[in-house]
Amino acid sequence: MKNIKFLLVGVLFGIVMSKSEAISWFRMQEMFRFQSIHMYGIIGVAVILGAIMIKLMKGSSMKTTENALPDFAEKPKTYTASILGGSIFGLGWALTGACPGPLYVLLGQGYWIVLVIIFSALVGTFAYGILRNKLPH
Amino acid sequence: MDILTQPWHWAFSGIMIVFVMFLLLYFGKRFGVSSSFKAICSMAGGKKTCDYFDYDWKSHSWLLMFVIGSIVGGFLAANFMASPNPVAISQATIQDLQELGISSPQGNELVPLDLFSFDKLMSLPGIIIFILGGFLIGFGTRYAGGCTSGHAISGLANLQLPSLVAVVGFFIGGLIATHLLLPIIMSL
């Protein structure tokens, strides 16, 4: 069961998301109304510190536990998909107050209605898979 | 043990998110949660319907473990590490929500309980927020190729231009929904 470690990282993620209040619908409303530094601080620190970390990791010859180079995720240059898909996700993010990670954490917190959001998100994913070839990317 | 019962400062929270990202990179994976939707669709039989889901979803089994872990993490945080106080959002936000007829934090709930209920699900605002909102999350994240973790954090930290474009999109959608749509939805 080499996947057990990902279960543990997930537990840590769930606790971090909860204690940071980044799973709170209230905090998302506050963010989209520019009324607090809270969410911008979290994302800002994560991006800046993450950029420094990735730079250092690229500079060193650090290998993963799989004995390979880390996968830093080069994103495909499909800018039309980025802006259109991003805007569509943004609508859902603000309405539900949650992005995919927090949805799972909220479920664990005991907010059962979130099951409806997750199921709808799976339907949305399915719809994208079907329509993908007809959409501009 | 304040770190267990009190909400974390945003700076500490940001550092801890980077720690999670480091662990995933060190274990040879990426930090990106919305791919789990694709994996679940493929696992549930989407393979036969279109080529998008026709991939080896077992390559994402680690992510499904991560997802199960994050559910457990949420459970542990709610039951053993919950803050006793209401989420300390700004006074301006409380007022804005009041005008929309949405309750501000009373106890230590993380979402407005008068909205996030199965009773509300049967109303027009409930259908739009939960069912349409969820649909847009799934459709949009896969169209954009990532969500907050994959684009706004991993992608920006790796200086990916497509991620910056996606994050601009996140905010176009988010601002429209917050300032234009939510007032209409709540008046339905």
Q: Average pLDDT over chain B, rounded to whole?
A: 95
CA pair distance B108, B115, nearest whole angstrom? 15
CA pair distance A66, A44, nearest whole angstrom? 30
Regarding whether A79 and A46 lie in a shared domain, the answer is no
DSSP one-letter code for B29: -
Q: Which residue of A has its CA nearest to B16?
A: A16
Regarding whether A80 and A64 lie in a shared domain, the answer is no
Chain A residues touching residue B136 (CB < 8 angstroms) = 88-89, 91-92, 95, 124
Q: Which residue of A has its CA nearest to B23?
A: A9
Point out the residue among B44, B66, B133 whose CB comes nearest to the CB of A6. B66
The answer to whether B69 contacts A107, with C-beta atoms less than 8 Å apart, is no
pLDDT in tens, B142-166: 999 999 999 999 999 999 999 999 9
Regarding whether A83 and A39 lie in a shared domain, the answer is no
Domain boundary among A23, A42, A73: A73
Q: How confident is the model at residue B1 (pLDDT cuts 50, 70, 90)?
A: low
Q: How far apart are the first and last CA of chain A?
A: 38
Point out the residue among B19, B105, B131 whose CB comes nearest to the CB of A120. B131
CA pair distance B138, A121, nearest whole angstrom? 4
Query: With 90 as the cut, is the pLDDT of residue B13 above it?
Result: yes
CA pair distance B84, B79, nearest whole angstrom? 11
Distance between A67 CA and the closest CA of chain B, angstroms: 8
Chain A residues touching residue B41 (CB < 8 angstroms) = 122, 125-126, 129
Which two three-digit tokens encode residue A95? Answer: 């309405």
How many other β-carbons are positioned within 10 Å of the β-carbon of residue B92?
A: 13
Chain B residues touching residue A68 (CB < 8 angstroms) = 28
Domain boundary among A73, A101, A125: A73
pLDDT in tens, A96-122: 999 999 999 999 999 999 999 999 999
| The predicted structure's pLDDT at residue B47 | 83
CB B25 within 8 A of CB A64: yes
Task: Write out the residue range of the structural domain in which residue A88 sits.
Answer: 74-137
Which two three-digit tokens encode residue B112? Answer: 């407005």
Regarding whether A128 and A78 lie in a shared domain, the answer is yes
The answer to whether A100 contacts B112, with C-beta atoms less than 8 Å apart, is no
CA pair distance B120, B102, nearest whole angstrom? 12
CA pair distance B131, A122, nearest whole angstrom? 11
Q: Which residue of A has its CA nearest to B38?
A: A125
Regarding whether A68 and A9 lie in a shared domain, the answer is yes
Chain A residues touching residue B103 (CB < 8 angstroms) = none
Point out the residue among B28, B77, B159 whose CB comes nearest to the CB of A14. B77
CA pair distance B159, B110, nearest whole angstrom? 32
Q: How confident is the model at residue B3 (pLDDT cuts 50, 70, 90)?
A: confident
Chain A residues touching residue B139 (CB < 8 angstroms) = 85, 88-89, 92, 124-125, 127-128
| The predicted structure's pLDDT at residue A2 | 80
On whether the pTM is more than 0.90, the answer is: yes
Interface contacts (A, B; CB < 8 Å): 509
Q: How confident is the model at residue B49 (pLDDT cuts 50, 70, 90)?
A: confident
Helix (H) or strand (E) holding A123: helix A114-131
| The predicted structure's pLDDT at residue B95 | 97
Regarding whether A41 and A31 lie in a shared domain, the answer is yes
Q: How many domains does chain A have?
A: 2
Q: Which residue of B has its CA nearest to A74?
A: B160
ipTM greater than 0.90 = yes
Regarding whether A58 and A95 lie in a shared domain, the answer is no
CA pair distance A33, A36, nearest whole angstrom? 8
pLDDT in tens, A46-91: 999 999 999 999 999 899 999 999 998 789 999 999 999 999 999 9
Domain boundary among A33, A57, A73: A73
Q: Which residue of B has its CA nearest to A23?
A: B110
> Helices in A20-113 by DSSP H: which ranges?
25-32, 38-59, 79-96, 100-109
